[in-house]
Amino acid sequence: MKIKEYIAKIYFLKTSEGGRKSDILNIGYSFRPLLHFNSNNYHVQIDFGEIKLIKLGAAYNLKLRVIDLCPLTKGSEFELKEIDIIGTGEILEILS
């Protein structure tokens, strides 16, 4: 299985919109929610880069790593899930 990389614009839902209860700290651990696309869930790793704190209610351009079985293309829209939906996104660029 090959890993594909993308740049995606991701909006993290506020708590009042049904999202997480707290912001996401970038403290050296990988952030791995589920990526929900075309009625299927895929494991995804999100790279926050130099961003130290992901604020709820904000959008960020972030690198995603997803197994190649996920048929994402430029412009694909998806959701991020933990137990519930925590964010929405769109693929801006395919890196590999």
pLDDT at 85 over 90: yes
pTM for the complete prediction? 0.93
Q: Which residue has the tokens 């990526």?
A: 35
For 8-17, 24-33, 53-62, 86-95, which range has the lowest pLDDT when averaged over its residues? Answer: 24-33
pLDDT in tens, 14-31: 999 999 999 999 987 889
Beta strands in the chain (DSSP E): 3-12, 24-25, 34-37, 40-47, 53-54, 59-67, 77-81, 85-94
Give the pLDDT confidence score for residue 1 in this predicted structure.
74
Give the integer Cα–Cα distance in Å for 62 and 52. Answer: 13
What is the band of 11 on the pLDDT scale with cuts at 50, 70, 90?
A: very high
Neighbours of 35 (CB within 10 A): 24
The one-character DSSP state at 14 is: P
CA of 58: how far to CAs of 3, 12, 24, 77, in Å?
Answer: 27, 6, 12, 17
**Partner residues linked to 89 by β-bridges:** 10, 78
Give the pLDDT confidence score for residue 61 in this predicted structure.
97
Computed over every residue of the chain, the mean pLDDT equals 95
pLDDT at 70 over 80: yes
